Structure 1
């Protein structure tokens, strides 16, 4: 910056500056970090890793080098980011449970399917796999463009040229700004078959391609349970999801006993977390048919699931596990990739294969032209050699006698500058008759190769025929070996299995106890002396509900949210139970104000708040399937729910803290699904509702035990309009 501009400040609108800079950041994230290129299926960090390993000569046949050396070269020459992110990318390329066809061969601890992390990069070693070598094949033949590195001191490839459909074979996942990508891995041999079909029949349909590419092929195997129509739609639009289940089998034991052996788990599910998930669901009593889970895995996965009773069908047991645990998961398909190097977009299966084939075709043209240029140069040199061998004596004389032999040679024998340079640099030992014969033989061979190369460049049909043959060879290569066979079995959508009979809870009387500190448990039977039940020190009984084991309970929180608890899911035994907050997402500042058994959906309850408002709600509208519950009462600031009463009777009696009483018909309180309620009684400043009763006015009211029943005539002075202030309460209502 010159002195004239020092201290110059230019006014810019904040919105314009932010949008301009954020757009630049977003585009950088999309194109240079998160989305893979449709041509080689790699993000920049993976491409730079493989190129750096090739520069270090870490071929499959060479020795290993420390990963720290590889990472150092990558961040020093090509990728100006943290070493941890680069090493994490390298580790993933070496994990055979993370990528279908590993591009890095690791030596040392590279993590496990249990979720264990890799050892530090100073301990581990790596080199490229044969698949990675194929992806880099031809990179020195001008097959792809190169661009300057971030510091302009070196060059790096824009894309890799190899004949491997890495995007679909190994899949990809990433989150950019405003967009994401999620592509499952597939079987490479099937992809080569589909690509050959696309060459032979460019107008083929997705359905025809899916006859060859059966669907995702995850490195961890498993069972894909989706119908064909779902698969076709997903691959046509580039968006969808696939349901994956663990693969299992029944292992027979003695005397009719059996257990389930899980040998493959869904992709990207960590085995350690899966076992924790199953154990947690068992504690929550969501897996009543499962007695135990054991991990007997070695190098292969072996999870043993023991049923509670041998009378249960294995299919029913597994159906409950698929429903409640990670033994069944979904993998989303979102084929959002960079096409033409820079343009993000969601492509179909056919479009992805076509884009890759166009890249293969371009690479073939560039490599062929590069070879042709080399052949023509060599033919030119050989032509000069042949002219020299016919006049060796004259050549030697010119070299010995001329001060400037190069121009003399060019003039005497009509040589080009290139030919003259090579003649002058020729060794004396080459001046023999046998060498002339070798040159003529090489000349003839290169002449034939020149014709072949020119014919290939001149005919698009020949080029696609050549690509088809190359794809066939690659298909044969990837059909064999450890990675060839399909791992994920493609199945039909499973039939619905009725588990209700097996999961049916035996109906029996229980009493549910909820403590003041929020610990809940169920004890068998009714009529308990709850005072004799033990609680934690400093804790005591808050609510006791006599119900049946098949009932549902409603827990109303002071904040107006209703939670549903299944009695069958509550802990039993002699312990203190478990915190109710583990069964319901009750906020820490919120407290239960009522616990009761829900009747049928038509049963009605009256809810009142401390600020004198109320409403009627049906049991169906109080029930909530989720742990988060349902917000039923929308309270005003400072108000809390005070009472939840069965809506039984004809009238409502309200008593306030400032000793005002009011009776009005229950029908004046509207029934709603949720809301803020209506005013029950007008409250003076600082007053709140003290008591609410529902009763039949014609039958009178017993206010307290030991008092006589108050007749309709006794109560008539308190009857008024809902929402009014009421009258001063009689003395019998204020006595304790």
Structure 2
């Protein structure tokens, strides 16, 4: 018996020589990395240049090669899938057909790349029919992705079996990655890019061509946000801005609907992107049956080819707003998580909006450059042939004689090239120096091309070719000319294919179940010393002439007094500053709405106040959107400081420190300032000082501040006002006994900080001490509330304009023992044009004016220096 086994084993010999030792963890790591990169680069992620994954690219290229274009007849989907799988993508027909079907779905693709015929699925989640039943061809916009692919514009690579060549990327005449979006899950990463409006994306690309330094914000002037094929609404813009600036964001998409209260129904017209309509209706029905949603009696799907229409019939007596918001909270909103991840030079990268467009432009510049080089070479070749033909026509008799007397076609070509000499009757014919291409062309010319008309056409064509060469050389030699070509082609595509935006924007109203139930309106918020709080619509308080008693604004319990009143909007975020130097954040709609005669509810459940803590100032968060803004605070003892708004971004439910206070001191007032304006501090005894806010340096929240005004005796600060001369014309001062006055700004000459200031108003027994100082302008209204809960609203123009050092006129007629507790200003944006002054005003208003003027000691000749010079 014979055997092939060796007589003895020798290490390192034979098969053993091919074996190497490897650590299993190293081998597993490398194998996994190879697999991951294969999935990332070869299957799951799109290329930033054409926005396509390999399977999409191969399907379109296979259709291009087969001539299944938008001008051809439809081809069976099974034929397209078979050619794609056989020549380019050997990964199974199911994956290819699913991709082909999706490219034909107008509810999945913003601009479908495949024109399908047959059942390609529905928004209800129905699958496409089998590929043997459907037909497809390329859409016209898909051809723009492959335009000029035969002009050496992109690189090619061998297909999986080296039989054919396939493009590594398509020329892509428009930024398809953003226009149609993409989604995919790779190994350890995923992409989810929303579709956009073609016209907006092209406008942004043109902007980047014209201004390479354009920022993301500049580009967002054109690209408003995603534009989904199913329409619907994007809630708010902040998430969109974040996604464009960072490459990641969570965009809330809300169904488009109409509420028909009279008919008692809600009609859904558009659904969020990728929402399954049939499953949505099923979920709503399940919640209705489970009692989670009340007020719905029937749901009907009346959708057809013209669009979506889901009718939700309400029960009799059901509140449509409540049902709508229950639907929004659970069913009619979805979140689209934007992950702008794409392959850049074969590596996955998260890209901003500008980076995405910049990479596309770099690709497009390379495509146009290579196309121009290709066309230039062709034009130069054609010009060379035409030059030969023109030369032959000029010497037509000798050329014809040379060809006729040559023994063969090859001899004729050689003679035209000047390589041999042709003789006739022993006499040599003239020789030529045509090139080989020219000689080949001349020998192949027909006799009909020797006519004079043909000669003129050749000359015209030669001139055209020379112009083309000159134009192409200009493009290749001038980057601006090349960009101009790209811009022109982009605008041509926009003119051809752009359409109107389908997805709209709606305001982000926060928590649907609460905020959306609250109508957006201007309100008056009242807070008492015992921490009772409530809100009332501003519209309940009609404007009156000054000097009226007003109406009841709140019912106080025995011993309680009003501490503050302020005007805001129900959807505003408020920063509430207290006399202890703390600041709390509160949404206005969280304050319970109650009638004028109601006491209010305890604020314990809204704001966690300490004993003796009261609100002294409220800042509307809508006023602090300026990046370089400050919160300027003054204390009763005359200290002032500015703190950057950024330090008030994260406020705890228990509040945070707004300013440090000395023992016995309290926070008096807070203003939003933006640098470069003047401030006016007013005191209870009628003094005031005006100085530039930049004299107060910015400090941290825990700082005490610096002196703003030097107080005398037991005087205390009443408030602070910021002067914006574009919007403010007067300084308005109100005293505790209900008197007040307007004074022109120029009567308060600027001084240095920490001076005694000037007299602002007389605080005698009639007026009482100052309780508020504000800057006001035309159209403003004043809301004044007394300790006992009376409230009056009056236009500031009704309050007389007088100088400093005067007593003013009556603003609010107070009962005996009552005093003014708080004052706030309603800007013109909160006043409506159709408001008329109440006829029921104090009948003796004119008499009060005369009485005030009689008691007034006059303007004291504008005694600017009666109180002495300012002290530093």
Classify the TM-score, shorter chain: 0.5 to 0.7
1:698 aligns with none
Q: Secondary structure at the match of 1:231?
A: helix
1:246 aligns with 255
Specify which of 284, 309, 313 is matched with residue 306 of structure 1. 313
Q: Distance in 1 between matches of 2:245 and 2:118?
A: 42
1:450 paired with 2:469, answer yes
Within 5 Å, give how 1:704-715 maps onto structure 2.
Answer: none
Return closer, same or farther for 1:501/1:372 CA change in 2, 3 Å cut-off: closer
1:429 paired with 2:438, answer no
1:334 aligns with 339
1:272 aligns with 278
Q: Distance in 2 between matches of 1:54 and 1:201?
A: 35
Q: Secondary structure at the match of 1:333?
A: strand
Q: Distance in 2 between matches of 1:17 and 1:137?
A: 44
Contact 1:316 1:497 in 2 (8 A): no
Q: Distance in 1 between matches of 2:368 and 2:18?
A: 54
Contact 1:387 1:413 in 2 (8 A): no
Q: Distance in 2 between matches of 1:219 and 1:118?
A: 19
Within 5 Å, give how 1:379-394 maps onto structure 2.
Answer: 379-394=383-398
Contact 2:325 2:516 in 1 (8 A): no
Contact 2:247 2:338 in 1 (8 A): yes
Return closer, same or farther for 1:71/1:437 CA change in 2, 3 Å cut-off: same
Contact 2:376 2:473 in 1 (8 A): yes
1:395 aligns with 399
* Alpha-carbon offset, residue 426 of structure 1: 1.7
Specify which of 387, 395, 407 is matched with residue 414 of structure 2. 407
TM-score by length of 1: 0.65
Contact 2:328 2:512 in 1 (8 A): no
2:478 aligns with 459
2:193 aligns with 183
* Cα deviation code 1:45-71 (max 9, x no counterpart): 000101111111111121001000100
1:486 aligns with 501
Specify which of 278, 283, 291 is matched with residue 285 of structure 1. 291
* Alpha-carbon offset, residue 502 of structure 1: 9.4
Q: Distance in 2 between matches of 1:473 and 1:331?
A: 31
Contact 1:286 1:324 in 2 (8 A): no
TM-score by length of 2: 0.55
Q: Distance in 2 between matches of 1:408 and 1:139?
A: 40
Q: Distance in 2 between matches of 1:367 and 1:30?
A: 30
* Alpha-carbon offset, residue 230 of structure 1: 2.7
Contact 1:335 1:348 in 2 (8 A): yes
1:575 aligns with none
1:158 paired with 2:173, answer no
1:315 paired with 2:321, answer yes
Q: Secondary structure at the match of 1:322?
A: helix
* Alpha-carbon offset, residue 334 of structure 1: 0.4
1:16 paired with 2:29, answer no
Q: Secondary structure at the match of 1:212?
A: coil
- Which residues of structure 1 form unaligned runs of 5+? 504-736
Return closer, same or farther for 1:398/1:336 CA change in 2, 3 Å cut-off: same
1:72 aligns with 82
1:147 paired with 2:157, answer yes
Q: Distance in 2 between matches of 1:399 and 1:67?
A: 55
Q: Distance in 2 between matches of 1:492 and 1:350?
A: 26
Specify which of 341, 350, 353 is matched with residue 349 of structure 1. 353
* Cα deviation code 1:156-187 (max 9, x no counterpart): 11111131211001110000011110000000
Return closer, same or farther for 1:450/1:37 CA change in 2, 3 Å cut-off: same
* Cα deviation code 1:342-361 (max 9, x no counterpart): 01100001100111111111
How many pairs are equivalent? 490
* Cα deviation code 1:214-236 (max 9, x no counterpart): 1010001111002x333222211
1:519 aligns with none
Q: Distance in 1 between matches of 2:194 and 2:263?
A: 38
* Cα deviation code 1:179-215 (max 9, x no counterpart): 1100000000000111111111111222221121110
Q: Secondary structure at the match of 2:417?
A: helix
Return closer, same or farther for 1:452/1:242 CA change in 2, 3 Å cut-off: same
* Cα deviation code 1:675-717 (max 9, x no counterpart): xxxxxxxxxxxxxxxxxxxxxxxxxxxxxxxxxxxxxxxxxxx
- Which residues of structure 2 form unaligned runs of 5+? 1-12, 419-430, 519-872
Q: Secondary structure at the match of 2:297?
A: strand
1:27 paired with 2:3, answer no
* Alpha-carbon offset, residue 497 of structure 1: 5.3
Q: Distance in 1 between matches of 2:360 and 2:517?
A: 51
* Cα deviation code 1:245-303 (max 9, x no counterpart): 11000235xxx441000010111111111111112222322112333322121122111
* Cα deviation code 1:420-469 (max 9, x no counterpart): 11112222332322221111111111111111111111100111122222
2:869 aligns with none
Q: Secondary structure at the match of 2:91?
A: coil
* Cα deviation code 1:27-84 (max 9, x no counterpart): 1100010000001000000001011111111111210010001000000000111000
Q: Distance in 1 between matches of 2:512 and 2:18?
A: 75
* Alpha-carbon offset, residue 495 of structure 1: 5.0
Q: Secondary structure at the match of 1:152?
A: coil
Contact 2:509 2:516 in 1 (8 A): no
Contact 2:325 2:517 in 1 (8 A): no
Contact 1:316 1:499 in 2 (8 A): no
* Alpha-carbon offset, residue 397 of structure 1: 2.7
Return closer, same or farther for 1:501/1:443 CA change in 2, 3 Å cut-off: closer
Contact 1:188 1:475 in 2 (8 A): yes
2:856 aligns with none
Residues 10-19 or 351-360, more deviating: 10-19
